[in-house]
Structure 1
């Protein structure tokens, strides 16, 4: 019988079975139960995996963005780096136009790919990046090959960087070796490959790569090392240039000519290996390699002297090309003869240093300058900067003051002992004659006579005035000892003063530049015109007396057969300084020997080694 709920009370809902609402149907068809439960579970698993993948993608993107930001946050702006500025360059040429030295960042003309011989970029790709035209900026094949070679050798023997990566590093990055910099290099390489064509990349590389000795780009390097523009290089020259990016500071022809030639031969072999040239041609070109001799070993003193006033003389001029007054042949003679003397008799006599300066007495052009024994060992310029007592090479100034006071070379002067205020000058080994002419007194450098000539000229102050007029700056003691050279002077100033004796009485300004060019525009070269400081008549008298010094006086070691020369010797107390300043038209040449610490030499007088060195320079260096 059916039961009905009591009136007024709602019926209670049926209790759910433990199996859930589907328990009845499940009990009715137990075989279908597994199939009924699996589909919902499959749908839930796929969704979970999709959710996981989505989260992984999101967080992976965030991590990748963070990593990218870490590598890229300080990357330079490529557009700005391509137009980056550099230090202005200064190129010094010798008097004949040959390259003397370069300073700053040296760039040549822009080299267009179509204007260059095909073997120049070909040599570069053969040795640096054979797959340059196939890869996309990074070369997985090259990296794998380099890794395998390094693994076999158990050391780094190959690199996997492409030319594009090298360009990115050279243009935008520092030489730092780190994973971060390598990633940045790769990023910039990809940017370059998207921005430029392969030919454009190659052209940029050839114009901006550093190739040693301050030279950037193949044109600057070709002019620096071979004296020709890049469009005119030979095959073996191109091979040397292409070999420089590996180690420009260590392999360039100026720093290591032998290493540069060996590297050039490796490049020729690489060119043969890629089929650009035959092995026979590679061997022939390797045999032709011969680098020109450097113009001068230690002309650094001259280069430094020329560059001292560049900012004042050429303000804001940018890149400069300066034609200098230096005579390369004479400079080489000066350096070689000075070193030979200091290594031989100078070493025996404890003369450790020396300086030589040759000046054209017609206009003041400095033709040769050695400021010491070795510029690399000591760049201090003893020819220009060092101030020392000149000794008896100062006496011609005293004689000139006497001539201007009315004396003549024939006038007699006593060589007898004298005492002034308790001071008595000595004559050394000179045996007194009683009296002798002013010419003979200068020729034999008699000290007591020199003091009397100073008094005849009007005293120390009048002689000091004459010295200043000749360009000597002093200081000058206000006493009679000035007659014996107790002032101070540089070798450069003494030579310029003697030039006035040799050129007829004109004071010339020593200078080292004859022509200045910036951006293909000629610049005015500051120059002081020669000024008359003594009469032609008195200059002729001085030349005559200086000739007597060499002909029959203390300077006989300076006599040159077949040439009219003159000069004066000088030796300071205890043989601390030995001088010879001479005239060998058209040059005035000065020599100093001594030691930087002012230690005495062993009986080195101005009439010995300095006069001998003057003679050797004139015989070998002048036509």
Structure 2
């Protein structure tokens, strides 16, 4: 029998032997082969990437001179420096100059295996994978000091796998090109420690007031603890948080053997003296408001810039003093002052920026109280009232709401000027009811109030919350003759070499109200200061303004203007609790007086234009009140809708019935159309007969109330003739006579 000894088995035999192996062993064998192959390719790719990256890295000297972040110098309107923001770099310290305690603290906290790994710590990576599997989420990072340095210099903080991969390659390359001591030196001189401080010397000077070469073990522990969350653990933001974090660092130093456990226990961080902040008070409220606007004004840039603002240092100091001297104990205060072109001259957002950087001048919304009557009376003046018209201060109820005056008394017949000066709530309610609460809301919107506005009856007394800067803007627009004003705080932005990147351009304001309304409301505002509730705001020259006090004395306001400067003051508690003795005419008015005395001292005295140059329709004798060319007239119904009785919008000649501005017809008795519950006939028979040429029987029956000269009004007329606009006009968005706008 023949033997096969010494011969290889046939291919068929090998195939049969392979087929007999378990499937899992064959899959495992293939996986190992492919895995090894892919690993080799990965190593080749990684090595190539590291090699090319290492060649592209700047040299050590170039890395030392590079800086992170953008330097911003903020200047006042006179060119003086208000504050310097952005990165702050101290003296560069060589590795040997850095205190050993500082080097030990940062290594113990951020990367205890720094001296052993190759730029990436595989043990740390395996540890976080293990935690991920056990806990279901990542509990800690694994970035080494070298990786953090690479990210700070070359990358951003985006949490993506792509960024993490580039970070690792850069770290491996840096470890190949630089020594461990060089890497640690770079790290400690460039890492961000919060408050604009880059590097340990800048941090030491900022937080402790001395160079980093003098750092103690406790101070080094506090600085090392900042790297994890600079804003959270900053000694200037939360001293106790920085101390608690420093204790953690001391324990980590003891665990790595950098210090003994007894030394860690004996170090009292609470006894470390912190440096006082400088240049961080009221001016920072202004810079916090103005500087974010750079994102809209400038193209993206990282070069150092200088921002020239509208702030007047002398007025800012006066504003701060005025608020601090007059704010009630336990309360806060805010002040905004503007020139007539909208330039913000001073801004105070609270009594102490360091204690609270919340800007109450631009962010807080509070009820304005009677200062809101500015919009009520402007709506009434625009509707036909004059300051000399007589009204009756008497009890009134509107939809179940019965407003009361502050003294719970009624003055009887008085003129509009006196009603405003003494802030009669009942008169404001009457005026608001007659012109329409929606008309008052519309007037406030017209003057820049951007917060939600209610249209319930009590809105006339200032129940809708507003911002100080918005109310100040509205009064500035009145001071500017009823033209629009846009508040601004940045005049120009330049590079440090003087190249202009942005410059503010003045914009011609648009007319918000007719001149006679601006003159009328200025008359009322001037009287309120001369003889009314704002007497404490007098400064020895013409002043126009209005007080505001909310229920239970939670808010006090004074807003006014003189010689082209408008200032708004608010006082109250952040928790909206009662402030004893707080009235708009006390602390706020006195703060206005103290500030404005300084603000206008170098400006010429200006008399207000309070001469009412009324339109012709208000000057006509009563017996000719409704006469004239029908094309020149329209009227307003009680809902504030403009009605053209003779034609449809656009001057269509085929209209058979009176129509609203949007083209919808007014229901006529006998027409078969039921009148709306909110629509009331708005013209008398005599008017319609002469204006339309049709028999009076075809028109709705109405009554027009117009008092005789000197006779008090008990209510506003429901019908007010207006000069008719040109026939070509844009249809109103209203869809029906009873539709109510939303504010």
Of the three residues 461, 465, 473, the one matched with 1:496 is 473
* 212 and 244 in structure 1: CA distance in 2 versus 1, 3 angstrom threshold: farther
The SS at the match of 2:426 is helix
Match of 2:407 in 1: 429
Match of 1:354 in 2: 333
1:334-388: CA deviation from partner (whole Å, max 9, x where unpaired) = 222322333xxx12xxx5211111111x211111111112111111111111112
* 182 and 564 in structure 1: CA distance in 2 versus 1, 3 angstrom threshold: farther
Report matched runs for 1:190-589 at 5 Å. 214=196, 297-319=281-303, 320-342=305-327, 346-347=328-329, 351-360=330-339, 362-429=340-407, 431-456=409-434, 458-518=435-495, 520=497, 521-525=499-503, 529=507, 530-560=509-539, 562-589=540-567
Asked whether the equivalents of residues 528 and 534 of structure 2 are also in contact (C-alpha less than 8 Å), the reply is yes
Q: Distance in 2 between matches of 1:318 and 1:243?
A: 28
Computed over aligned residues only, the root mean square deviation of the Cα atoms, in angstroms, reads 4.7
Match of 2:68 in 1: 86
Asked whether the equivalents of residues 565 and 600 of structure 2 are also in contact (C-alpha less than 8 Å), the reply is no
Match of 1:610 in 2: 588
1:293-319: CA deviation from partner (whole Å, max 9, x where unpaired) = 966732221111112232232231223
Choose 94-103 or 575-584, whichever is displaced more.
94-103
* 79 and 588 in structure 1: CA distance in 2 versus 1, 3 angstrom threshold: same
Q: Distance in 1 between matches of 2:554 and 2:465?
A: 14
Larger radius of gyration: 1
Asked whether the equivalents of residues 296 and 328 of structure 1 are also in contact (C-alpha less than 8 Å), the reply is no
Q: Distance in 2 between matches of 1:554 and 1:454?
A: 21
The SS at the match of 2:410 is coil
Asked whether the equivalents of residues 356 and 383 of structure 1 are also in contact (C-alpha less than 8 Å), the reply is yes
Aligned residue-pair number:
434
Q: Distance in 1 between matches of 2:566 and 2:379?
A: 21
Asked whether the equivalents of residues 211 and 244 of structure 1 are also in contact (C-alpha less than 8 Å), the reply is no
1:11-56: CA deviation from partner (whole Å, max 9, x where unpaired) = xxxxxxxxxxxxxxxxxxxxxxxxxxxxxxxxxxxxxxxxxxxxxx
Report matched runs for 1:63-82 at 5 Å. 79=58, 82=62
Report matched runs for 1:112-151 at 5 Å. none
Q: Distance in 2 between matches of 1:479 and 1:213?
A: 47
The alpha carbon displacement at 1:499 in A equals: 0.5
Q: Distance in 2 between matches of 1:315 and 1:174?
A: 42
1:43-95: CA deviation from partner (whole Å, max 9, x where unpaired) = xxxxxxxxxxxxxxxxxxxxxxxxxxxxxx9x999726635562223221111
TM-score normalised by length of structure 2: 0.50
* 174 and 496 in structure 1: CA distance in 2 versus 1, 3 angstrom threshold: farther
Q: Distance in 1 between matches of 2:109 and 2:69?
A: 19
Q: Distance in 1 between matches of 2:441 and 2:523?
A: 23
The alpha carbon displacement at 1:400 in A equals: 0.9
The SS at the match of 1:581 is strand
TM-score normalised by length of structure 1: 0.59
* 455 and 90 in structure 1: CA distance in 2 versus 1, 3 angstrom threshold: same
Match of 1:201 in 2: none
The SS at the match of 1:508 is coil
Q: Distance in 2 between matches of 1:174 and 1:399?
A: 69
* 539 and 246 in structure 1: CA distance in 2 versus 1, 3 angstrom threshold: farther
Higher relative contact order (CA 8 A, sep 6+): 1
* 426 and 159 in structure 1: CA distance in 2 versus 1, 3 angstrom threshold: closer
Q: Distance in 2 between matches of 1:371 and 1:528?
A: 26
Q: Distance in 1 between matches of 2:59 and 2:577?
A: 58
Q: Distance in 2 between matches of 1:364 and 1:295?
A: 26
The SS at the match of 2:77 is coil
The alpha carbon displacement at 1:586 in A equals: 2.3
Match of 2:579 in 1: 601
Asked whether the equivalents of residues 358 and 588 of structure 1 are also in contact (C-alpha less than 8 Å), the reply is yes
List gaps (5 residues or longer) in structure 2: 1-50, 120-144, 146-173, 224-234, 237-276, 602-743
Asked whether the equivalents of residues 387 and 488 of structure 1 are also in contact (C-alpha less than 8 Å), the reply is yes
Q: Distance in 2 between matches of 1:525 and 1:609?
A: 38
The alpha carbon displacement at 1:535 in A equals: 2.9
Match of 1:592 in 2: 570
Report matched runs for 1:179-198 at 5 Å. none
The alpha carbon displacement at 1:613 in A equals: 1.2
1:553-589: CA deviation from partner (whole Å, max 9, x where unpaired) = 01111111x3221210111111111111111322111
The structure where helix makes up a greater share of residues is: 1
Q: Distance in 1 between matches of 2:85 and 2:579?
A: 38
Asked whether the equivalents of residues 295 and 328 of structure 1 are also in contact (C-alpha less than 8 Å), the reply is no
